[in-house]
Amino acid sequence: MGLEPALCARFHQAVELIGRRWTGAVIRLLLDGRKRYAELRDAIPDISDRMLSERLRELETEGILARIVVPETPVRVEYELTPKGRALERAMSEIGNWAQRWISEPTPAGADRDPRTTDHQSAKASRRAAEAPRRAHR
């Protein structure tokens, strides 16, 4: 691409930051507006409290989101994107468009498997099925 080394380093740093597990999901959700911790946690399947807290801290440290303490009883904490975070909207939209075109829909784990077979049996059957066309042409 003909990038200067300094630009490459910036690009790499940006991709590493945004590409961390769960970070894209957090940013995507906050593009819709301010959210509470529990709303984020409930909207991201399989994320642990520890991981969500870690990602929120990283994004706050990077200036991508702001942690807002609402002085009520009880105190309410909300998160929203800063202008720096909002600047990712177009990039996130383009990644979403790319994913719609190029990434196949994930299947639930084991949905395509016969529950009566073991993983070893399934792998063996897959190999036999792949070899069958080659045997037929011999």
Backbone φ/ψ region at 60: left (φ over 0), alpha (ψ -120 to 50), beta: alpha
pLDDT value, residue 135: 47
This prediction has a pTM of 0.71
Return the CATH number of 21-103, one of 1.10.10.10, 3.30.40.10, 1.10.3720.10, 3.40.50.620.
1.10.10.10
How many angstroms separate the CA atoms of 93 and 67, rounded?
A: 24
Is the torsion defined by CA of 32, 103, 88, 69 positive or negative?
Answer: positive
Is the per-residue pLDDT at 127 higher than 80?
no
**CA distance to 107, 121, 124, 127, 129, per residue, from 135 (Å):** 30, 20, 16, 12, 10
Q: What is the pLDDT of residues 36-45, one digit of tens each?
A: 999 999 999 9
Categorize the per-residue pLDDT at 76 as very low, low, confident or very high, splitting at 50, 70 and 90.
Answer: very high
Q: What is the pLDDT of residues 2-45, one digit of tens each?
A: 666 666 888 889 999 999 999 999 999 999 999 999 999 999 99
Per-chain mean pLDDT for the chain: 84
